[in-house]
Chains A and B, each alone.
Chain A
Amino acid sequence: MLSDNLDAPLKTPSAGVFVWPRFSGWMLLALLIAALVLVPVAVTFSSFSHIEGDTLAHLTEFVLPGLIANTLWLVLGVGIGVSVLGVSLAWLVAMCEFPGRRLFNWALLLPLALPAYVTAFVAIGLLDFTGPLQTALREAFGPITLPEIRSRGGVILVMSLALYPYVYLIAKNAFSTQGAIALEAAQSLGLSRTQGFFRVALPMARPWIAAGLMLALMETLADFGTMAIFNYDTFTTAIYKAWYSLFSLPAAAQLASILILFVLVAVVFEQRSRAKMRYGAVGRSAASRRIKLSPAMAALALLYASTVLAIAFIIPVTQLALWARDVMADDLDSRYWAFAWHSLLLAGMGALIVVGVSLLLAYSGRQRPSKTMIWTQRLATIGYAFPGAVLAVGLFIPVAWLDNWLIDTGRDWFGFEGHEVLKGTLLVMLLAYLVRFLAVGFGPIESGLHRITRNVDEAARNLGTGAAGLLTRVHLPMLRASLFTAAAFAFVDIMKEMPITLMTRPFGWDTLAVRVFEMTSEGEWERAALPSLAIVIAGIIPIILLTWRGAHSQNQPHG
């Protein structure tokens, strides 16, 4: 029984000393989860058994230098972009009072429901030379030159606007429980509010900001759609090029392996910065102690939040709605109910599984903290940084292999005559989503768990609460906000997911994202607006639930 280990003493090994892991139930569980994720990764790495010298030499000479620079700039730019947007908006909404705050509280999450490539396509459509803005300016003032949107700056801007909600939501949860305490402490030390923010509240929130940042950056690294629209070369676009254009899946897999090494380096840095921090201090909600902004500042806050919301969500969605209206008569038919139902069902089931397994994984770490455990957890969440199509193949190959074995065995022993056992089932699909999206569930839950101090556990134990009771009566209620965040992230990500859905769906199981693929595969972006809009509308459901829950537990501690 896993829970038998709950009462064992908790020890953190001292830094620098390798402690051989004790293979407790928790450790085994974590290893099992990681193994699941590492199978497709291992399939990818196994490509190194077959080196295509020509292709790699060519890529190294003509492609790699540019794309390494591009990738680094992108990570740096998007990292700064999502941090600045996410943290500032989270602080405003969690800690300050200004008109519209309650609306922005949830509305600022909406861009999450919008696939980044849609924002990209709309941004280029509106701002490029041929777009309405530049056309109108040319007609009014003659030839003009505006900064080029199809540029490094443009990609960074679009990705930041699309991905800041990851940082925003996790940081907001942190600020709304810690922010007030941080500020009070700062003020008691004679610091101004600004100093209090930068010197106390921000450092205290760092692990949570880092968790959101990691999600945003992993998604950036794995993104293909947006980069293709901007024709911006990154590792992921090079991976697709090696595969589709140079016909070398091995070279593609090798590039993907290098990408994963990059991510692991980033993980080491993040882990180092975290290891130095102590967590704890759950305070009361900040609701009663929000900073009252001066009218001028309140107006600025309102303007800032509205501008971000308008650019990141309202304008793109309006454009989508206009396009969708044009094609609705031809394209909207009764099949859309089935597409939407499949999307919702898969996203719902997938989110449940992701949250459940993330909780187990994060909880293992709390029960058995060790270096091995941390690395096991980190490896288990690596699937999010993998380009989706490569991961899909990495998943499909072992499943097909197992299937072939089962079919042959079935034929020899039982006269079985089918050609599919596992593949073409929802089970494989959901497993694939888990491998891909474990990170988006794990990030919020793990950072939420960190916020529950050991004192709470001890207090509960002293009051005679058993292991199971500790989880269900103490931890889970305190983790509610984190669990909902994790579920919402996983839900909208699965709704938007394309390559895994395409590759593993059973016959006839088309989803809204599959519709988007069908339309965009021949460049019919306007027609893709209809399913895209449906994804946005369906993706809003969990965000509304999240808000609704927030409104009903205003005074309960957030996770």
Chain B
Amino acid sequence: MKPTQLLTAFALCATALPVLAEEVVVYSARNEQLIKPLFDAYTRDTGVQIKFITDKEGPLMARLKAEGRNTPADVLLTVDAGNLWQASEEELLRPIRSKILTANVPAHLRDPGNEWFGLSVRARTLIYNTSKVKPADLSTYEDLANPKWKGRLCLRTSKKVYNQSLVAMMVTEYGEDKTEDMVRGWVNNLATSPFPDDTKAMEAVAAGQCDVTLVNTYYYGRLMEKNPSLPLGIFWPNQNLKNKAAGVHVNISGAGVTRNAKNPAGAQKLIEWLSSDKAQNLFADANLEYPVNPKIAPDKTVAAWGEFKQNLINVKEAGSLQVQAVKLMDRAGYK
């Protein structure tokens, strides 16, 4: 065979590779055991194959960026709105027009530019020791800076994005200086140095090392499932405020279609399906989170914690103000 013939043959082989079944490729920062059942269900429903890889958000975004136009990824799925905002800033996502998504996802839980959409809601709330604190003593996140809580507060580290988002929300209402004072108040009230995770903080509250802490509700659900006798109660703060800080701080896990998606239509269909009533319970309940779609009722365990008013600031602020929030927490000495 002459070289030119060889080349032609090679080229023909390469181009003739058939696409057997439709495929969507997902980069996910939400872990495998939470997404795999959904993807399996989607494949059963539609016949579309899903290939995915999990990693932390930072590396996934660095990867998307480095791969550029040749990324295999169609969908980026992450936890925390800050990360989605960052992905959008880095121009890794593309805007999509979807009536289904705008109908299923409340406005404050999706990108105003339509590049990403929340799929489940995570509420960050107060957990208290039922034998030492009366619910009437609790009111707001801001109140935890009050000296009456001196030596009675436990917190998770400020390095966790959940706390950064919460503080970012405070900045939208109170500005940087007042928020920094509030955080300094929290730090002054700490009973012990910050914990690496929410569960440890709740265990400290249960053991009496401190009286109150701030956690995402699914950690509470998980801990109480394992040990229902713990003296821990849940409290929804900021319910009676009238300012922008009113309501329980919520964050999302969510997804967007990548800018260089090879199968953008398939990617959009997958995200739409994830927001639908077929998938919402499967998506949220697996981790005791709240469905993003308000028409869908949460899991029984979750519903039993009662209803609450959500904070209505768009969750993208968690991203745009995150850097400010982190810096002010550093200044306030919140480790």
* Residues of chain A whose beta carbon lies under 8 Å from any beta carbon of chain B: 55, 58, 62-63, 124, 128-130, 135, 148, 150, 228-231, 233, 237, 240-241, 243-247, 249, 389, 392-393, 396-397, 400-401, 403-404, 407, 410, 413-420, 423-424, 499, 502-503, 505, 507-508, 510, 514, 517-519, 521-524
Q: Assuming A130-B207, A517-B54, what are 17 further A-B pairs, CB within 8 angstroms?
A: A63-B330, A130-B206, A150-B193, A231-B195, A231-B196, A241-B326, A400-B66, A400-B67, A400-B70, A415-B14, A416-B11, A417-B14, A418-B14, A502-B55, A514-B54, A518-B32, A523-B198
Q: Which residue of B lies closest to A507 (CB)?
A: B51
11 chain-A/chain-B pairs, Cβ below 8 angstroms: A58-B327, A63-B330, A243-B58, A246-B326, A389-B58, A389-B59, A400-B63, A415-B15, A419-B67, A522-B287, A523-B197
B199 within 8 A of A: yes
How far apart sit A415 and B204, CA to CA, in the bound complex (Å)?
62
Q: Which of B161-209 contact A (CB under 8 A)?
A: 161, 164, 192-200, 203-204, 206-207, 209
Residues in A with CB closer than 8 Å to B51 are: 507-508
B68 within 8 A of A: yes
How far apart sit A502 and B206, CA to CA, in the bound complex (Å)?
36
Residues in A with CB closer than 8 Å to B198 are: 523
A231 touches B335 (CB 8 A): yes
Contact of B209 among A130, A507, A514, A518 (CB under 8 A): A130
How far apart sit A414 and B25, CA to CA, in the bound complex (Å)?
25
Contact of A414 among B11, B58, B193, B262 (CB under 8 A): B11
Residues in B with CB closer than 8 Å to A510 are: 32
Residues in B with CB closer than 8 Å to A508 are: 51
Q: Which residue of A lies closest to B61 (CB)?
A: A249
Residues in B with CB closer than 8 Å to A55 are: 323
Residues in B with CB closer than 8 Å to A522 are: 31, 34, 287
Q: Which residue of A lies closest to B206 (CB)?
A: A130
A414 touches B59 (CB 8 A): no
B278 within 8 A of A: no
B303 within 8 A of A: no
B297 within 8 A of A: no
Contact of A523 among B7, B14, B199, B206 (CB under 8 A): B199
B269 within 8 A of A: no
Residues in B with CB closer than 8 Å to A249 are: 58, 62
Residues in A with CB closer than 8 Å to B151 are: none
B111 within 8 A of A: no
Residues in A with CB closer than 8 Å to B161 are: 244-245
Q: Nearest Cβ distance between residue B101 and chain A, in whole angstroms?
A: 25
How far apart sit A415 and B70, CA to CA, in the bound complex (Å)?
15
| Interface bits B22-37 vs A (CB < 8 Å: 1, else 0) | 0001000101111000
B323 touches A247 (CB 8 A): yes
* Residues of chain B whose beta carbon lies under 8 Å from any beta carbon of chain A: 7, 10-11, 14-15, 17, 25, 29, 31-34, 51-59, 62-63, 66-72, 86, 89, 157, 159, 161, 164, 192-200, 203-204, 206-207, 209, 219, 222, 262, 287, 322-323, 326-327, 330-331, 335
B72 touches A420 (CB 8 A): yes
How far apart sit A233 and B164, CA to CA, in the bound complex (Å)?
17
B322 touches A419 (CB 8 A): no
How far apart sit A418 and B327, CA to CA, in the bound complex (Å)?
43
Q: Which residue of A lies closest to B71 (CB)?
A: A419
Q: Which residue of A lies closest to B68 (CB)?
A: A404
Residues in A with CB closer than 8 Å to B52 are: 507
B70 touches A419 (CB 8 A): yes
How far apart sit A81 and B54, CA to CA, in the bound complex (Å)?
36
Say whether chain B's binding surface is mostly helix, strand, loop, or mixed.
helix
Q: Which residue of B lies closest to A506 (CB)?
A: B53
Q: Nearest Cβ distance between residue B296 and chain A, in whole angstroms?
A: 21
How far apart sit A246 and B323, CA to CA, in the bound complex (Å)?
5
Residues in A with CB closer than 8 Å to B197 are: 523
A241 touches B68 (CB 8 A): no
Q: Which residue of B lies closest to A66 (CB)?
A: B335
A404 touches B209 (CB 8 A): no
How far apart sit A233 and B31, CA to CA, in the bound complex (Å)?
26
How far apart sit A229 and B219, CA to CA, in the bound complex (Å)?
17
Residues in A with CB closer than 8 Å to B207 are: 129-130, 135
Q: Nearest Cβ distance between residue A252 and chain B, in whole angstroms?
A: 9
Q: Nearest Cβ distance between residue A13 and chain B, in whole angstroms?
A: 42
Residues in B with CB closer than 8 Å to A135 are: 207
**Quick one: given A231-B335, A247-B86, A507-B51, are A518 and B31 in contact (CB under 8 Å)?**
yes
Residues in B with CB closer than 8 Å to A403 are: 67, 70
A233 touches B69 (CB 8 A): no
How far apart sit A228 and B89, CA to CA, in the bound complex (Å)?
27
A237 touches B159 (CB 8 A): yes
B57 touches A244 (CB 8 A): yes
Q: Nearest Cβ distance between residue A361 and chain B, in whole angstroms?
A: 28
Residues in B with CB closer than 8 Å to A404 are: 67-70
Most buried by A among B161, B207, B287, B322: B207
How far apart sit A88 and B222, CA to CA, in the bound complex (Å)?
45
Q: Nearest Cβ distance between residue B125 and chain A, in whole angstroms?
A: 16
Residues in A with CB closer than 8 Å to B330 are: 58, 62-63
How far apart sit A407 and B69, CA to CA, in the bound complex (Å)?
10
How far apart sit A505 and B60, CA to CA, in the bound complex (Å)?
12
B195 touches A502 (CB 8 A): no
Residues in B with CB closer than 8 Å to A392 are: 59
Q: Nearest Cβ distance between residue A390 and chain B, in whole angstroms?
A: 10
B159 touches A241 (CB 8 A): yes
How far apart sit A259 and B150, CA to CA, in the bound complex (Å)?
38
Residues in B with CB closer than 8 Å to A521 are: 29, 31, 56
Most buried by B among A247, A404, A407, A503: A247
Residues in A with CB closer than 8 Å to B29 are: 521
A396 touches B10 (CB 8 A): no
B86 touches A416 (CB 8 A): no
A233 touches B335 (CB 8 A): yes
**Quick one: given A62-B331, A415-B15, A502-B54, are A523 and B219 in contact (CB under 8 Å)?**
yes
Most buried by B among A135, A231, A243, A423: A231
Residues in B with CB closer than 8 Å to A233 are: 335
Residues in A with CB closer than 8 Å to B11 are: 414-416
How far apart sit A249 and B57, CA to CA, in the bound complex (Å)?
12
B204 touches A129 (CB 8 A): yes
Give the 9 A-B CB pairs with smallest separation, nearest first.
Answer: A400-B66, A62-B330, A415-B11, A518-B31, A130-B207, A502-B55, A130-B203, A523-B197, A419-B70
